[in-house]
Amino acid sequence: MQLHIRKGEKKDLPGVLELIHELAAFEKAPDAVTNTIKEMEQDAFGVQPVFEFHVAETEGRIVGITLYYIKYSTWKGRGLYLEDLVVTEKYRGQGIGKKLLDVFMQEAKAMGAKQVHWQVLDWNTPAINFYKKINASIEAEWWDCKMTEEQIIEYRFET
């Protein structure tokens, strides 16, 4: 298998979104993805890009991605947040995820990141084992907090 990992381009976004949909189905939320190629194009290649990505290609097809962005910790400084590391099911277990992670970590080192951060579902045993194997810390102490678009719209400001 000839595998090529490279920085993502606009032309890759349909394949990237396909993998995002596959991930959502794997994570038992197949209808949760509302993002579009047009929005992703603006967010990755517009005036103020907010994310970057790498793709893993083989046989003319995108089979894996890392999608990430800069984060900042007031305690540690600059870092990268790995939003998604996805390898399509047919190609899992062949080292593609590790190669994608290697390229992501090269980006972190090149920018002088003080930390990298990502999340994993507590039932995703293969991913948890992979992260333990690379000596990542898996913390149970911090809870994930978020607000949906609807919650943001409904947010009440103090007046």
Q: Which residues are registered as beta bridge partners of 86?
A: 65
Of 68, 81, 131, 155, catalytic: 131
Alpha carbon distance 139, 158 (integer Å)? 34
131 is an active site residue:
yes
Alpha carbon distance 75, 68 (integer Å)? 20
Alpha carbon distance 154, 159 (integer Å)? 15
What does the block give as tokens for 29?
């939320």
Alpha carbon distance 25, 66 (integer Å)? 18
Alpha carbon distance 32, 146 (integer Å)? 15
Catalytic residues: 131
